[in-house]
Structure 1
């Protein structure tokens, strides 16, 4: 697997939306999709884990069934492989803008930093599964874990990940910060501890500044 194929330039754009549960990314990904469609772009709105029938089945297992960090990681990357092949790559090839609620940075944050799983193994899986594919832009909605927990409690029953304590989510947040520092050109950090209108203004400005 050392000699990976050279990936041709894609006419579409791939944007991932990241952050700890409760950071507000899901509402803003919908607004971004509407904003792009109003400008004439085809938009594929998707999520991870999920996005295909197989990946959605794996998502259900991940969110509901107890398992160790290795099992979580393998299921996540299996779902990602199907997602890439069946939806993301075809959409990019035809020129669509792909907006994904989470991608690989979430795996490094949750399974890597949160669970303490071996980052070198994650990096190898990332190479095998993605064959060089990364988002053109990753929007990280950064929020203190305690604030995110209050938001989650107000709107939904927690799943297996959302039931974790604040220390877990602090590690996840630190994992996102590490990924952002390592690939600053791809990331935009949005302060999500602001009114929704201010968050959207920052996000729209980040999109408009891209020379696309």
Structure 2
């Protein structure tokens, strides 16, 4: 056996991109994917909700206001949509490919809790996420609801209104504060190139320290001090 053959395969990173609607997440995910590819990394880009699956099609109908769901039911569908791809994410990362995910458990929990349903707290919303692959880094694109509302296409889907987005921003702060070691806040109010440059820098540094992080971890319970 050669020295090269005896070395275990180095895993990829799990990089999550989160933020308010119209913060530029999808564009930045695509730019990050392209930049990492040019640097020689194997990369896969996943976007949640995955609207191509049976569960995803139900979610798509709901988001387009073409159907209605109980708050708890739709939340569990969003979570199930992530669980549909959990093993694929684990296997892909283990095989040396970095996975970039546009929206993840953080969005799932805060958007449901932001509805202010008294029986759907942030803690309740987080429970179905426990056990899903935990990101090595969560990049939160920070932008004010007012600035987001000025961007093209705002208001096309159910959650895109300023009242909802303000609640979402507040809850993101609460949730991400509990995940501080894995979070990097990015000022998304700058130019696309400026934001992309910082994101790529953070992602490359994350990939470089994977050996120190160890195997891909799992999301744990949420502890919030009231």
Q: TM-score, normalised by structure 2?
A: 0.79
Question: Which residue of structure 1 lines up, in the alignment, with residue 112 of structure 2?
Answer: 111
Question: How far off its partner does 1:161 sit?
Answer: 2.1
1:35–1:209: structure 2 CA closer, same or farther, 3 Å change rule? Answer: same
Question: Which residue of structure 1 lines up, in the alignment, with residue 181 of structure 2?
Answer: 185
Question: Which residue of structure 1 lines up, in the alignment, with residue 159 of structure 2?
Answer: 161
What CA distance in whole angstroms lies between the structure 2 residues aligned with 1:98 and 1:191? 22
Question: Which residue of structure 2 lines up, in the alignment, with residue 124 of structure 1?
Answer: 127
Q: Secondary structure at the match of 2:169?
A: helix
Question: Which residue of structure 1 lines up, in the alignment, with residue 49 of structure 2?
Answer: 49
What CA distance in whole angstroms lies between the structure 2 residues aligned with 1:156 and 1:142? 16
Runs (4+) off by over 6 Å = none
Give 1:15-54 correspondences, 5 Å limit.
15-50=15-50, 53-54=53-54
Question: How far off its partner does 1:115 sit?
Answer: 4.2
Question: How far off its partner does 1:194 sit?
Answer: 1.1
RMSD: 2.1
Q: Secondary structure at the match of 1:158?
A: coil
Q: TM-score, normalised by structure 1?
A: 0.83
Question: Which residue of structure 2 lines up, in the alignment, with residue 5 of structure 1?
Answer: none
What CA distance in whole angstroms lies between the structure 2 residues aligned with 1:44 and 1:63? 25
1:62–1:25: structure 2 CA closer, same or farther, 3 Å change rule? Answer: same
- Gaps of at least 5 residues in structure 2 are 1-9, 210-226
Give 1:191-210 correspondences, 5 Å limit.
191-210=187-206
Contact 1:48 1:102 survives alignment (8 Å) = yes
Question: How far off its partner does 1:114 sit?
Answer: 4.3
- Gaps of at least 5 residues in structure 1 are 1-9
